[in-house]
Structure 1
Amino acid sequence: MRSVFVFLRGTTEEEIAAYLDGAYPAQREPWLATSADDPCLYINFYRGGPRELGPEGWTDLVRRFGGEPSAGVMADVSGRHPGDEQVFDFVTSLLAIFSGSAQDEYTEHLWSLDELRSGQLVSGHPFFDYSGWYAESEADA
Structure 2
Amino acid sequence: MSHDMPMPMPMPNTTMNHMAMMHMTFFWGKDVIMLFNDWPNGKLGMYILALLFVFVLAVAVEFFSVFPAMKTGASPIVSGLAQALVYGLRMTLAYIVMLSVMSYNLGVFIFVVVGHAVGFFLVKYRTTLKTKDDPE
For normalisation by structure 2, the TM-score amounts to: 0.31
Name whichever structure is richer in helix by fraction: 2
For normalisation by structure 1, the TM-score amounts to: 0.31
Name whichever structure is richer in strand by fraction: 1
Larger Rg, first or second structure (1 or 2): 2
